[in-house]
Structure 1
Amino acid sequence: MVPHRSLVRMIEANELTKRYGRTTAVRGLSFTVRPGHVTGFLGPNGAGKSTTLRMILGLNRPTSGTALVGGRPFGALPRGLRDVGALLDARDVHHGYTARAHLSVLARSNTIPRRRVGEVLEEVGLAQAATRRIGGFSLGMKQRLGIAAALLGDPPVLVFDEPVNGLDPEGVLWLRTLLRRLAAEGRTVFVSSHLMSEMESTAEQLVVIGRGELIAAESLTAFAARGTRRRVAVRTPDADALAPALLAAGASVEAGTDGLLTVTGLPATRIGELASHTRAVLHELIPRSSSLEEAFMELTADSVEYTTAGDVR
């Protein structure tokens, strides 16, 4: 069901700050999530993503600033799950309930027609498991149940925190299609994830934070283009001659199969000049933009709180 235009709402963070004692989890954060797009919410571990989502959903009170949905704090919205649907932790559910009973309780408490329980169970692929106790569900099934709960009120705003966790490849593809469809219907869809490849395949807009502060709020394409480690794909039958010249010029070179070299650190024009000097035949010379993951790693490098022993930052 497509939400009425009057119900479509933006999510807005305005100078949002949250402190826990001497620790500042979120600092002066401002961004807007608009309807009609899947907006990814990215940041390194400890960046403040979960705290921000909890403030948007009224579960944590900001120290200062505001988190608004449709211009109002979440607690002032009158229609519960019919205003905003959310999945924060799929495991946070009574394991003694069946899937149908869990959703039925939510439907009654939010004055949602009972027929919606069956509809959302069917939509998330749990119709055959409706009478099973949740305690016996896999993590992927619990994720699907959490998504069903978020969809129950047919809301114009949807917030998901790591919804891909536990899903198998078929489930990941299903979720990707679902999120895109919900956004295409004019809903506001805000998705936190640590999986760059999945965000690259799903999101159109990004909000990126680090150490509780805003790094970027822009299109995925624009963010990826900010990465400076752009690559050039070079295919040549003379890789043994060209690769040393590229390395001597300061490039990083990764050798692949069939004479493919992936070159970082030199523009295509300079690579062409070096190929000419070494008399290397070029079959391909294709500049490639940074991937989302490469841009993310580069632009958030100073915001990573925990690194492995082998990391060099």
Structure 2
Amino acid sequence: MIEVNELTKRYGRTVAVDGLTFTVEPGCVTGFLGPNGAGKSTTLRMIIGLNEPTSGSVTVQGHRFRDHPRGLRHVGALLDASDVHGGRSAVAHLGVLARTNAIPLRRVDEVLAEVGLAGAARRRIGGYSLGMKQRLGIAAALLGDPPVLLFDEPLNGLDPEGVRWVRGLFRRLAAEGRTVFVSSHLMSEMEHTADHLVVVGRGRLIADEPLASFAARGRGSSVTVRTPDADALAGVLTAAGAQVRPDGEERLVVTGLDADAIGELAHRHGHRLRELATSAASLETAFMELTADSVEYLAGESR
């Protein structure tokens, strides 16, 4: 578990992170979203002690990262896949990390095989493609078999097979009960991978909720409901804050509530449902709408 409490980071007059508070729970994939300059990378660096907070605190498994002995056994992180010594081989690079964290050297071969780099293990990293460096960075994060994993833009440079593999890897790690925190700009991949979202803008928290609930807040998503009690159910949903539009005699189109919430309200009030279908909820639409005031750089506009 990662617990962030009133975390703030200032660089002179610039506030990069402004009083962030959220918790990243184990057992699910949590996506970390925000426009450029939102403070995501700074927050990730503070979690693993690379940046010191101006105020506030962040703990991993109840302790500051720096207080964990043999850090890679507790937290694995991929923050910059290119931040490696190009003259070393993958085996040498991971071997150094293993020795300094008291990790059995057999893990080096294990993780290289897991990420698909066994055949390139003794090649110099400087000759790797970006996708191969991403795989190596993921191998380094997995090296200590840690309960907490952080990934910053892990899909950059990966081909479609690699993207699919990473998606499955994150879901498997979460299913094992680990804490998986992923920062990405690829909304389509977050829709396929994340269960929960933490969204920030200009260093402040915008949302901390399940992905489906966040996507449903965008105007591009809706739920179709078919019921013989259309008029009565429409009143219930409107009272709960939804926007309801009749679409035929028994059909309603609902925005502002997700399908789970609608089903629960219908059950609670005794209304029968014959259809409950969610349109393709657009995470991208919801993200663009809810972070519009937090975008630092707008193409085609001067600020």
Distance 1:112 1:173 in 2: 29
Distance 2:123 2:56 in 1: 43
Q: What letter is aligned with 1:116? A: R
SS in 1 for 2:113: helix
Distance 2:216 2:301 in 1: 27
Q: Provide, for residues 3-24 of structure 1, a one-character-per-residue CA deviation record: whole Å limited to 9, x for no partner.
A: xxxxxxx101100000000000
Q: What letter is aligned with 1:163? A: P
Instruction: Please name the residue that 1:203 is paired with.
Output: 194
Distance 1:310 1:199 in 2: 28
Residue 176 of structure 1: how far off its partner (Å): 0.3
- Alignment partner of 2:6 out of 12, 15, 18: 15
Instruction: Please name the residue that 2:173 is paired with.
Output: 182
Moved more, 188-197 or 286-295: 286-295
Instruction: Please name the residue that 2:63 is paired with.
Output: 72
Residue 78 of structure 1: how far off its partner (Å): 1.2
CA RMSD of aligned residues (A): 2.0
- Alignment partner of 1:88 out of 79, 88, 93: 79
What TM-score does the superposition give when structure 1 sets the normalisation length?
A: 0.79
Instruction: Please name the residue that 1:41 is paired with.
Output: 32
Moved more, 73-82 or 154-163: 73-82
Provide structure 1 residue ranges, at least 5 long, that are not aligned to the other structure: 1-9, 234-265, 274-285
Distance 2:192 2:183 in 1: 14
> Does structure 2 retain, via aligned residues, the 8 Å contact 1:268–1:287?
no
Look at both structures and tell me which one has the larger radius of gyration over its CA atoms.
1
- Alignment partner of 1:27 out of 6, 18, 22: 18
Residue 288 of structure 1: how far off its partner (Å): 2.4
What are the equivalent positions in structure 2 for 1:115-154 lying under 5 Å apart?
115-154=106-145
- Alignment partner of 2:43 out of 29, 52, 56: 52
> Does structure 1 retain, via aligned residues, the 8 Å contact 2:28–2:195?
yes
Distance 2:120 2:198 in 1: 36
Residue 229 of structure 1: how far off its partner (Å): 3.7
Distance 1:69 1:91 in 2: 25
Q: What letter is aligned with 1:122? A: A
Instruction: Please name the residue that 1:300 is paired with.
Output: 291
Instruction: Please name the residue that 2:161 is paired with.
Output: 170
Corresponding residue pairs, total: 258
> Does structure 1 retain, via aligned residues, the 8 Å contact 2:3–2:23?
yes
Q: What letter is aligned with 1:40? A: G
Distance 2:279 2:138 in 1: 36
> Does structure 2 retain, via aligned residues, the 8 Å contact 1:35–1:183?
yes
Q: Does 1:194 align with 2:185?
A: yes
What TM-score does the superposition give when structure 2 sets the normalisation length?
A: 0.81
> Does structure 2 retain, via aligned residues, the 8 Å contact 1:206–1:216?
yes
Provide structure 2 residue ranges, at least 5 long, that are not aligned to the other structure: 225-242, 250-276
Structure 1 runs of 4+ with >2 Å offset: 228-233, 286-290
Residue 186 of structure 1: how far off its partner (Å): 0.4
Q: Provide, for residues 111-148 of structure 1, a one-character-per-residue CA deviation record: whole Å limited to 9, x for no partner.
A: 10010000000000000001100000000000000000
SS in 2 for 1:121: helix
Instruction: Please name the residue that 2:205 is paired with.
Output: 214
Distance 1:164 1:289 in 2: 23
Q: Does 1:224 align with 2:234?
A: no
Instruction: Please name the residue that 2:104 is paired with.
Output: 113
> Does structure 2 retain, via aligned residues, the 8 Å contact 1:224–1:292?
yes
Distance 1:61 1:55 in 2: 6
> Does structure 1 retain, via aligned residues, the 8 Å contact 2:215–2:221?
no
Percent of aligned pairs sharing the same letter: 74
Residue 290 of structure 1: how far off its partner (Å): 3.8
Q: What letter is aligned with 1:104? A: G
Q: What letter is aligned with 2:213? A: A
Instruction: Please name the residue that 1:156 is paired with.
Output: 147
> Does structure 1 retain, via aligned residues, the 8 Å contact 2:27–2:174?
yes
Q: Provide, for residues 228-283 of structure 1, a one-character-per-residue CA deviation record: whole Å limited to 9, x for no partner.
A: 344699xxxxxxxxxxxxxxxxxxxxxxxxxxxxxxxx9652x659xxxxxxxxxx
